């Protein structure tokens, strides 16, 4: 390991000292580590959102960066603690509970190893079973980022095909329509990101300025139907109007200019939330 970059993600929030404890454990391993926070505001126990957050963020970081992701509703149970190496050369330290879904699907996992807690665990923490984020994941991630251990030193290899994943709905093009799912919402600004790539719109010949029929359904119930413009950016429409745009990772998204689309229309996200875009002549 050369760059000594360590990035933390969790659902711990910022109201007490859990995040600081993880930082402290890492600094005890090597005070020259460069430690950063992705977010600690992942919705509680939401491994789908954690998975998407890693998929969205990892490509911006250099090869060999170590990510520690702790969204762990099964802490202390039989779920497996792992380090996954992606095809892009990043290392993800995490419970194998769905957090690797999007990286596995869209980037690829080269190899995965189960954390050997007899070696990679804070000494003296063996009788505690509720803070593996500090005692196992932060400690192992720091040791890997610092070069105290290499990837093989994490523990025994686990077959990549055994990775626990959430169901992902693949987008489908039929005629003048593309259908997919609402993958994730932006929790701050309230737009929704679909799993439909920009290339699908290009295939359908949808260009900026065109109007597109949007339909959102959840478990068979129609939640939203409207004709929207396909825009370069939010300010192409008046305040409080809706639009379709391309987000920063090359996916089609829906927003309300200077407002919250999800709040305005009570829209949620996940594989059960289906969306379709139909090109209008």
Digit-coded pLDDT (tens) for 27-83: 999 999 999 999 999 999 999 999 999 999 999 999 999 999 999 998 878 899 999
Phi-psi region of 79 (alpha: psi -120 to 50; beta: other; left: phi over 0): beta
Backbone φ and ψ of 93, nearest 5°: -100, 120
- The percent of residues in the chain predicted with pLDDT above 70, rounded, is 100
Residue 2, pLDDT score: 75
Look at residue 146 and tell me whether its pLDDT is greater than 80: yes
Enter the tokens of residue 163: 């990775």
Look at residue 209 and tell me whether its pLDDT is greater than 80: yes
SS3 30: coil
Contact 132, 76 (CB under 8 A): yes
SS3 236: helix
Section 75-96 average pLDDT: 95
Q: CA 215 to CA 167: how far, in whole Å?
A: 21
Q: CA 79 to CA 47: how far, in whole Å?
A: 13
5-162 and 172-279: same fold? no
pLDDT in tens, 99-130: 999 999 999 999 999 999 999 999 998 888 88
Backbone φ and ψ of 135, nearest 5°: -75, -30
Contact 111, 151 (CB under 8 A): yes
SS3 26: helix
Look at residue 168 and tell me whether its pLDDT is greater than 70: yes
* Closest of 170, 165, 154, 50 to residue 109, by C-alpha: 165
SS3 87: coil
The domain over range 172-279 is classified in CATH as 2.40.30.90: yes
Domain boundaries, the chain: 5-162, 172-279
pLDDT in tens, 211-251: 999 999 999 999 999 999 999 999 999 999 999 999 999 99
Residue 74, pLDDT score: 86
Q: Which residue has the tokens 């890997």?
A: 144
**Rounded to two decimals, what is the model's pTM?**
0.93
Cα angle 72-86-1, degrees, rounded to a multiple of 5: 95
First to last CA, the chain: 54
Contact 11, 42 (CB under 8 A): yes
Contact 206, 272 (CB under 8 A): no
- The percent of residues in the chain predicted with pLDDT above 90, rounded, is 94
Which fold does the domain 5-162 belong to in CATH? Rossmann fold (3.40.50)
Residue 1, pLDDT score: 63
Q: CA 234 to CA 227: how far, in whole Å?
A: 16
């Amino acid at each position: 390991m050369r760059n000594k970059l360590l990035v933390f993600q969790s659902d711990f929030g910022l109201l007490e000292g859990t995040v600081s404890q993880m930082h402290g454990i890492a600094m005890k391993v090597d005070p020259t580590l460069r430690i950063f926070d992705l977010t600690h505001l992942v919705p509680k126990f939401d491994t789908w959102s954690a998975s998407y957050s890693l998929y969205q963020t990892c490509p911006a970081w250099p090869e060999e960066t170590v990510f520690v992701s702790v969204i762990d509703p099964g802490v202390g149970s039989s779920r497996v603690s792992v380090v996954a190496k992606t095809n892009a050369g990043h290392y993800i330290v995490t419970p194998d509970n769905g957090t690797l879904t999007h990286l596995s699907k869209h980037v690829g996992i080269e190899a995965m190893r189960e954390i050997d807690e007899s070696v990679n665990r804070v000494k003296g923490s063996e009788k505690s079973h509720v803070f593996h984020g500090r005692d196992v994941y932060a400690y192992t991630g720091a040791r890997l980022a610092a070069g105290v251990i290499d990837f093989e030193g994490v523990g025994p290899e686990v077959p990549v095909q055994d990775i626990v994943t959430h169901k992902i709905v693949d987008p489908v093009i039929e005629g003048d329509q593309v259908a997919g799912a609402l993958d994730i919402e932006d929790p701050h600004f309230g737009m929704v990101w679909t799993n439909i790539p920009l290339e699908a719109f290009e295939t359908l010949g949808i260009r900026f300025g065109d109007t597109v029929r949007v339909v959102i359904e959840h478990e068979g119930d129609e939640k939203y139907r409207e004709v929207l413009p396909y825009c370069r950016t939010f300010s192409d429409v008046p305040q409080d109007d809706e639009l379709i745009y391309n987000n920063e990772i090359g996916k089609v998204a829906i927003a309300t200019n200077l407002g919250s689309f999800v709040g305005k229309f009570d829209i949620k996200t996940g594989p059960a939330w289906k969306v379709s875009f139909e090109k209008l002549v």
